Structure 1
Amino acid sequence: MSGRGGVHMLPNGTKKWDGIVPQEAEAPSGSVLRWTANNTWEDAREPLHWDIDVGKACGIGPGLLFAACLLRTGAAHRIGLVPCAVGGTEMDRWLPGADLYEQMVRRTESALRAAPGVAALRALLWYQGESDADTEERADELPGKFASMVAALRARLGAPQLPVLQVAVTCHNMTVSPLAERVRVGQLSARLPALSTVDAEGLQLAADGLHLTTAAQVELGTRLANAATVLGASRG
């Protein structure tokens, strides 16, 4: 979810974003805001997670593209994004009581309190699963853990019908994620209230066979925006 579009391996073995921002991610100043790691609102810019997912090279992800698409279609007029993703993490770290779950809740609550004007929590965008695709046990347990996380988060934030937009993973590098297809099938089979699952299968992958290219992130952001409109998550 934090995005690796445009991230390339350098000759010295380090990874770096190429700095190319797709035109589709551009939005008028003040129309898309992001909640920073320092708990302030600012104009959103790519990479959206640059100060959140600090352990890796962040590039283009679907979040800002999702928001910009909603603006272009008139489905929303001003959007605040609360980036929380940390790449390469297992679902266990996103369960109630775990570090990343609690950080996500704290950031969401503080962002809502500090939001300009009247703000409402509209949706959760979720793109995770490759890190649980290395053992049968974790792959099989992922759907149940995801459902538990969604239920707990809705209760904690007082939003029992919070729309959730989930991405079903795709991965052709079976050495990296040998059970990715098993995870994907479980995600596509999820049946939760106010849940829409967008399938990433077929989107272009980078050379690592795991992460989406910038062009693929553009398409994914559009698919998520369309799903949000159908689900009613973009109203207001």
Structure 2
Amino acid sequence: MRIFVLSGQSNMAGRGVVSQDGVVPPECTPDPRILRLSAALQWEEAREPLHADIDTTTTCGVGPGMAFARAVLASLDAPGPGAEAGLGLVPCAIGGTAIRKWARGERLYEQMIARSRAAAECGEIQAVLWYQGESDTISDHATAVYRENLEKLITNVREDLGMPQLPFIQVALASGTETNIEKVRSAQYSVSSSLPNVVTVDAMGLPLNEDNVHLSTGAQVKLGEMLAEAYIKKFLAPPC
């Protein structure tokens, strides 16, 4: 099973609309080959909202995870190595969390590592999908040290999982405090230039909900497909 860790804050956890009847966009519908690791560390068929039992401080909705998984799965349906392979999603994102809460030794970081290790017993971790940083645009100090903290996070995760080349596919912010958002975005791009196997997918310009913070349902679908495209192009495509 190809395993992907979904982490960060609310835009990864998902705030897109899931109807009362559980209706979601077709790109986010369940597939028996796509599983999720529950809060109780049990594999189950993945369905939106993926983070319902993880980010329990609010009501979760559609995020990029299912659209990402279905797009990757479609690429694996082609004849050749990996055909008919299953995908495992490991939701870890928690809304409203600054990057300092994801430092080694902090509860959220250790929980992410523990969940990743449990998932790895059933397959190989392919990548971490990371969407975080809105909370760090609020503070000038947090903004100033964001690059350092992000580099530490990636380095620590790779060390603790014993995967020095583990791919990180991060999302450049689409929202945040106006005075600092470009500084955090710049830090995100700097990290993708300084560390190997770090790819940045830019969410800027994708439609937001009325709160001007969270991506709309359609934007989450688009982001999931963008993340899948980045993974397929950089890490799945056969070498020339």
The bucket for the TM-score relative to the shorter chain is 0.7 to 0.9
Match of 1:184 in 2: 185
Match of 2:205 in 1: 202
Match of 1:158 in 2: 162
What is the SS of the residue equivalent to 1:81? strand
Change (3 A) 1:139 1:151: same
Question: Residue by residue, what CA displacement relative to the aligned partner does 1:127-155 show, whole Å, maximum 9, x if unpaired?
Answer: 00001111111012111101111111101
Match of 1:227 in 2: 230
Match of 2:138 in 1: 134
Q: State how 1:33-72 maps to structure 2 within 5 Å.
A: 33-72=35-74
Match of 1:216 in 2: 219
Pairwise CA RMSD: 1.9
Match of 1:11 in 2: none
Question: Residue by residue, what CA displacement relative to the aligned partner does 1:161-183 show, whole Å, maximum 9, x if unpaired?
Answer: 00000000111x64xx6422221
Q: Quick check: 1:6–1:214 contact (8 Å CA) kept in 2?
A: yes
Write out the 4+ residue segments of structure 1 that deviate beyond 6 Å after TM superposition. Answer: none
Shift of 1:188: 2.0
Match of 2:119 in 1: 111
Distance 1:27 1:143 in 2: 36
Give the partner amino acid of 2:26.
Answer: Q
Shift of 1:185: 2.0
Distance 1:168 1:92 in 2: 18
What is the SS of the residue equivalent to 2:91? coil
Match of 1:193 in 2: 196
TM-score in terms of structure 2 length? 0.86
TM-score in terms of structure 1 length? 0.87
What is the SS of the residue equivalent to 1:123? strand
Q: Quick check: 1:70–1:234 contact (8 Å CA) kept in 2?
A: no
Of 222-231 and 18-27, deviating more is: 18-27
Q: State how 1:10-25 maps to structure 2 within 5 Å.
A: 19-25=22-28
Distance 1:134 1:60 in 2: 25
Number of matched pairs = 219
Identity of aligned residues (%): 43
Shift of 1:65: 1.1
Q: Extract unaligned runs of 5+ from structure 1.
A: 8-15
Q: Which has the higher contact order (CA 8 A, sep 6+)?
A: 2
Shift of 1:100: 0.4
